[in-house]
C-alpha cells in the first residue's frame, strides 16, 4: 500500500508548486493510473514515491513505513521502475539488463540465470534466442518488454511505470497493454502508472487519479470518473465521447440476453410460434452444418407478419450473416459493429457457440443506467 499524506513539491526557482498538498492512497494489489495533461505533476508524484525526486513537504508511506527512513538506493531496489525511454544499458545483453537488480541484491548466479529465463518466457521472448542479444538488436516493443521484465526481476511488490508504452506504435501498445493486464491479473502488484492518454487510463486502471496543475482533481474507479466527472476540467479531459467510453468498461457478456431459440432453415415458417413458446425475442437460424447463418428478431416478425413469405425471411437471415460478436468484445466495439452493419441486433457467441443476443436498445439502456449510477 502506498500512502501520500499532504505531499508537496516545489522545484527550486519556481513559485507554483509542481505538486500541491496531495493526499491519496493506492491500495495493495491495485493499479492506480495517474493521468493529466503534461506539466500537471503526475510524473513528479510518481518519481517522489521512489525518491528520484525528494518531497518538499508531506510524507509518503509504503506499507506504513516512511520512505525517508530507507536509503534511497535500497528503497529503489525493491520498487520496479519502468520509464518511457526504457533506458536499457546498450552495452549489456538482454540477460544482463534483466539481471541488474538481482545482482544488486547479491543473488547467486544460477538463481539469476533461472529467473532471467523465467522472465523472458513470461514476456514472450525465447530465452535461447534473445538472452545474448543487445538492446540495439531488438524492436521497440521487444525493448519495452525487456524493460518491464527488468523491473519485475526481483518480483517487487510495487511497480512505478512512467508512460511505459508511450514510445511504441499503437498496435504494439495495444498488445503490450493486453499482455500487461494479463500478467497483472496473476501478479496482483501495487502499480502506479502514469499516462496522458485517458483511454489507456480507462483500460489499465483499477483506479484513476486525474491531475491538473499539481492537484488531484478526481480519484476513483474508471466507472466513477466516467459517469460522475467532478468538474468541467475532468469532463473536458475525458472528451465528448464520455458515454461511449463508459461502454468500453463493459463486455458484451454483461448485457447479452440469454434466452436463445434456434431453428433450422426449413423451420423458417414456424419461427414466430417457436419464439412465442420460448419467450425469446431472437431466433437463430442454423444452416445445414448446424452453424449460425443469421437470425430473426421479434421486430422482423412484427413488421412482416407471422406468416411472411419464407423468401423474405431468408433474405433477412442472410443479411445478418456477419452480425455476430464474441462475448468478450467491449460494448463500445459492439456498438461500432452495429453502426457499421446498419443493424440494431447482434448475435452473441462464445467461440462457435451461440450464447445470446444484444440489441442497440440493450446498450442504450445499460449506458444510461451506468451513467446514472
Partner 1 sequence: MEYIIYIQRNTELIMEYAQNHFALVLTAIIISLVLWVPVGVLITKNEKWASRVLNIANTIFCIPSLSLFAVMVTIPALGLGRRSALVALVLYAMMPLVRNVYQGVKGVDKSVIEAAKGMGMSSWRILWEIQLPLATPVIFAGFRITVVMTTGIAAIATYIGERNLGRLIAEGLTRFNVEMIIVGALFIAIIAIGLDSLLGYIEKRIVPRGLRTGRS
Q: Grid cell 467510453 — which residue? A: 245
User: Are 144 and 94 contacting, i.e. CB atoms less than 8 angstroms apart?
Assistant: no
Of 160 and 208, CB closest to partner 1:
160
* Contacting range for partner 1; rule: CB under 8 A; set: 81-89, 214-222, 321-329, 336-344: 81-89
Of 165 and 324, CB closest to partner 1:
165
Task: Quickly count: other Cβ atoms within 10 Å of residue 286's Cβ.
Answer: 17
Of 85 and 121, CB closest to partner 1:
85
CB 160, min distance to partner 1, A: 8
Q: Is 101 an interacting residue with respect to partner 1 (CB under 8 A)? A: yes
Of residues 20-59, which lie at the interface with partner 1 (CB under 8 A)?
50, 52
Task: Quickly count: other Cβ atoms within 10 Å of residue 22's Cβ.
Answer: 24
Among 75, 293, 330, 337, binds partner 1 (CB under 8 A): 75
Of 104 and 293, CB closest to partner 1:
104
Question: How many angstroms separate the CA atoms of 175 and 161, rounded?
Answer: 17
Q: Is 92 an interacting residue with respect to partner 1 (CB under 8 A)? A: yes
How many amino acids of this chain bind partner 1 (CB under 8 A)?
A: 32
* Contacting range for partner 1; rule: CB under 8 A; set: 145-153, 227-235, 344-352, 356-364: 145-153
Q: Is 161 an interacting residue with respect to partner 1 (CB under 8 A)? A: no
CB 11, min distance to partner 1, A: 17
* Contacting range for partner 1; rule: CB under 8 A; set: 76-84, 245-253, 304-312, 334-342: 76-84
* Contacting range for partner 1; rule: CB under 8 A; set: 99-107, 208-216, 226-234, 238-246: 99-107
CB 152, min distance to partner 1, A: 12
> Exposed (0-12), middle (13-18) or buried (19+): which is 40, by Cβ within 10 Å?
buried
Q: Using H for helix, E for strand and C for coil, what is the string for 307-353?
A: CCCHHHHHHHHHHCCCCEEECCCEHHHHHHHHHHHCCCEEEEEECCE
| CA nearest to 349, candidates 299, 284, 298 | 284
Phi-psi region of 70 (alpha: psi -120 to 50; beta: other; left: phi over 0): beta
Q: Is 83 an interacting residue with respect to partner 1 (CB under 8 A)? A: yes
Among 43, 81, 125, 282, binds partner 1 (CB under 8 A): 81
Of 76 and 115, CB closest to partner 1:
76
Q: Is 100 an interacting residue with respect to partner 1 (CB under 8 A)? A: yes
What are the start-end ranges of the H helices in 221-330? 222-227, 232-238, 242-247, 252-255, 271-278, 298-304, 310-319
Helix (H/G/I), strand (E/B), else coil: 35: strand
Reading the block at residue 153, the C-alpha cell is 526481476
Q: Is 269 an interacting residue with respect to partner 1 (CB under 8 A)? A: no
Helix (H/G/I), strand (E/B), else coil: 285: strand
Which phi and psi angles does 123 have, rounded to 5°? Answer: -90, 10
Q: What residues line the site for partner 1 (CB under 8 A)?
A: 50, 52, 72-78, 81, 83-93, 100-101, 104, 134-137, 147, 150-151, 160
Amino acid at each position: 500500500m502506498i500512502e501520500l499524506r499532504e505531499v508537496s513539491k516545489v522545484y527550486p526557482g519556481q513559485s507554483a508548486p509542481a505538486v500541491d498538498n496531495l493526499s491519496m492512497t493506492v491500495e495493495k494489489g491495485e493499479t492506480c493510473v495517474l493521468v493529466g495533461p503534461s506539466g500537471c505533476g503526475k510524473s513528479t508524484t510518481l518519481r517522489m514515491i521512489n525518491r528520484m525526486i525528494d518531497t518538499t513537504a508531506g510524507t509518503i508511506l509504503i506499507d506504513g513505513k516512511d520512505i525517508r527512513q530507507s536509503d534511497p538506493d535500497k528503497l529503489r531496489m525493491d520498487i520496479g521502475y519502468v520509464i518511457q525511454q526504457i533506458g536499457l544499458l546498450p552495452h549489456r545483453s538482454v540477460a544482463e539488463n534483466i539481471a541488474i537488480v538481482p545482482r544488486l541484491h547479491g543473488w547467486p548466479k544460477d538463481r539469476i540465470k533461472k529467473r532471467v529465463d523465467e522472465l523472458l518466457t513470461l514476456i514472450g521472448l525465447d530465452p535461447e534466442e534473445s538472452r545474448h542479444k543487445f538492446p540495439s538488436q531488438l524492436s521497440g516493443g521487444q525493448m519495452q518488454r525487456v524493460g518491464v521484465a527488468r523491473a519485475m526481476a526481483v518480483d517487487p511488490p510495487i511497480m512505478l511505470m512512467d508512460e511505459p508504452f508511450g514510445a511504441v506504435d499503437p498496435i504494439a501498445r495495444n498488445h503490450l497493454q493486453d499482455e500487461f493486464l494479463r500478467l497483472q491479473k496473476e501478479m496482483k502488484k501495487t502499480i502506479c502508472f502514469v499516462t496522458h492518454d485517458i483511454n489507456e487510463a480507462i483500460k489499465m486502471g483499477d483506479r484513476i487519479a486525474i491531475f491538473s496543475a499539481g492537484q488531484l482533481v478526481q480519484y476513483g474507479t474508471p466507472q466513477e470518473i466516467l459517469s460522475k466527472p467532478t468538474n468541467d476540467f475532468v469532463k473536458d479531459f475525458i472528451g465528448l465521447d464520455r458515454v461511449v467510453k463508459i461502454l468500453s468498461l463493459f463486455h458484451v457478456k454483461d448485457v447479452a440476453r440469454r434466452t436463445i431459440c434456434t431453428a433450422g432453415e426449413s423451420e423458417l415458417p414456424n419461427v414466430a410460434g417457436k419464439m412465442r413458446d420460448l419467450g425469446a425475442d431472437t431466433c437463430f437460424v442454423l444452416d445445414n452444418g448446424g452453424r449460425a447463418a443469421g437470425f430473426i428478431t421479434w421486430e422482423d416478425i412484427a413488421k412482416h407478419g407471422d406468416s411472411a413469405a419464407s423468401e423474405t425471411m431468408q433474405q433477412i437471415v442472410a443479411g445478418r450473416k456477419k452480425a455476430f460478436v464474441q462475448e468478450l468484445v467491449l460494448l463500445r466495439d459492439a456498438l461500432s459493429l452495429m453502426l457499421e452493419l446498419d443493424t440494431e441486433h447482434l448475435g452473441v457467441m462464445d467461440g462457435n457457440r451461440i450464447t445470446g443476443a444484444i440489441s442497440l436498445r440493450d446498450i442504450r439502456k445499460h449506458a444510461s443506467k451506468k451513467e446514472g449510477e
